[in-house]
Each structure stands twice: as structure tokens, then as C-alpha cells.
Amino acid sequence: MPLIFSPAAATGAGDNIDDIKALLKSSLRQFKDFPTKGVLFEDIMPIFQNPAAFNALLTGLRLQIEENFSGANKPDVIVGLDARGFLFGPTLALMLDAAFVPVRKRGKFPGPTVSAKFEKEYGSDIFEMQADAIKPGQKVIIVDDIIATGGSAKAAGELTRKLGGEILEYIFLMELDFLKGREKLDAPVYTLLSGQPTKLQ
């Protein structure tokens, strides 16, 4: 049975998606010139300091998934990206009665792994997944906090497919639309909040 997640502290937004979005947007804060000059950084950490906002985030993602993928098409695995996908991916997986599989930077996993290189805003890196983490034919949803250039999500998708997983959807809290990251991805993309350009004028 899926976990019924309704902590007493999580009140306010309920299952109304407009209320959920309003609460999440009000919880974000911005920092200019981080991590480099000219960038307006969207900080999602306050969401996790507020049980109601954290529950709203999980509820918004759960509603999207359950509306589109149910019955025989429900996800078997939630894949979360290093590192902020780890903050809500495991709990979301538990709510959906699915497994959680992390994608991490190279050298963090023991045992056999598969790897994929990706380009990001400030250089390149390599993601890895344990070689037995996903079984052939399992249905997978890939989650992260923000899609920017799409490089890291694309790498997670490559790892999933190397292991025989079927990607149902990529899901994010926010999207930086002007970077057109979703164009790199090979499955439907959903963002809970509409992203705004972060390049300052």
C-alpha cells in the first residue's frame, strides 16, 4: 500500500494545485550573482524548513504523477539526481509505492556501475548509477529540483535506458525556460512551477 503522507503540521494548500503553487512560490528566495556574476539564483531550501511547504511540494508532484500514470502504467522507480533530487525523491517514491534510485557523481558508489558524461552550466561532470539499480522493463520517473541546460537530466535518462528502464516522464520543481533544457530530453517534461530567466538585465 502507498504511504498516506499527511503530517499534522502540513496544512493550508491541501490538494488544490493553485494553492500548492502559490505556497511554493512564496517560499522561494533569490540571491543575485550566485554562483557567478549575472546569475539570479533561485534558492529552494526554505521549502524544506517549512513542513507545510514541503508537503505541498510532494503533494503537487504526486498529483501530477497519479493523474497521468496509474494502474499498469504507474512508476516502478523514482530516479533522483545528485544532490537536491535526494531531498524529496525518496519520500515521493514512498508515497507512490515505488523504489528510489539515486544518480550520483562519479566515484561515490561501490560495486559495478554505469556512467554517463554531461555538460553543465559551469563545466562537465560524470554521473553514475549502480548497475543493478533498475531492472529491464521497469517504468521510471526522473526527478530533480530545477531543469536548466538539461545536461544532468539527460545523463540520468541515458543511465536509465542503459539498464533497460522505460522513462515515463522527467519532473522538476522549476524550469529555466530560456536555456531550453527540455529540448535535450527524450520523454515528456513537467515542471510544477514556471521558471523565469535568471540572467540579470
What are the φ/ψ torsions at residue 6 (nearest 5 degrees)?
-145, 70
Maximum Cα interatomic distance, the chain, rounded to a whole number of Å: 50
Nearest to 61 by CA among 22, 92, 23: 92
Cα dihedral 24→68→133→104 (10° resolution): -30
Q: Show the cell assigned to 168.
A: 515515463
Instruction: Report, as residue numbers or ranges, the catalytic residues.
Output: 84, 121
Per DSSP (E only), the strands in the chain are 29-32, 40-43, 77-81, 99-105, 113-120, 123-130, 139-147, 166-175, 189-191
Q: Show the cell assigned to 46.
A: 526554505
Residues near 71 by Cβ (< 8 Å), separated by ≥ 6? none
CA 15 – CA 163 distance, rounded (Å): 35
Bridge-based pairing state of the strands 99-105 and 123-130: antiparallel
